[in-house]
């Protein structure tokens, strides 16, 4: 099943806090369903360097498994943060996690990291 990396940018501290509990419950439900594979903040600083006046900003990264981008967008569209307009920027990137802990969920499932490295080394020769 394809994986997708989704990033959120939040810029409204009041709205972020108001909808946090609903968002956290939504995350737990997505983990339990197997749709959400990993999630967490990418920046905890409340002031964002490089933004006018150091404006408040929080960001997050979420890794989903979904049948395709349309299915992913349907899933993400139910997040209370999106429903309530609290995601000011969002990116979606399809990702093939060939190496590491998600490797058995990649397009190369069943091929160990060592074998993959060996195959890649042969290609480079």
- Is the pLDDT at 45 greater than 80? The verdict is no
Which comes out higher in pLDDT, residue 45 or 92?
Answer: 92
**Cα gap 18→53, rounded to integer Å:** 23
| Rounded average pLDDT over 66-84 | 98
**Cα gap 55→46, rounded to integer Å:** 8
* Domains, in order of start, for the chain: 3-124 (3.30.70.1060)
pLDDT in tens, 1-43: 899 999 999 999 999 999 999 999 999 999 999 999 999 999 6
CB 24 within 8 A of CB 118: no
**Cα gap 83→78, rounded to integer Å:** 6
CB 35 within 8 A of CB 75: yes
pLDDT at 44: 59
- Is the pLDDT at 118 greater than 90? The verdict is no
Q: Which pair of structure tokens corresponds to residue 63? A: 């890794």
**Cα gap 28→46, rounded to integer Å:** 24
């Amino acid at each position: 099943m394809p994986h997708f990396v989704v990033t959120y940018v939040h810029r409204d501290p009041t709205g972020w806090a108001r909808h946090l509990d609903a968002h956290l419950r939504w995350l737990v439900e997505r983990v339990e369903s197997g749709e959400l594979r990993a999630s967490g903040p990418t920046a905890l600083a409340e002031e964002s360097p490089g933004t006018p006046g150091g404006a408040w900003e929080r960001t997050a990264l979420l890794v989903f498994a979904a049948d395709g981008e349309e299915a992913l967008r349907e899933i993400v569209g139910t997040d209370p943060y999106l429903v309530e307009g609290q995601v000011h920027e969002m990116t979606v990137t399809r990702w093939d996690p060939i190496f590491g802990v998600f490797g058995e969920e990649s397009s190369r499932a069943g091929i160990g990291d060592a074998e993959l490295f060996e195959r890649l080394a042969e290609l480079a020769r």
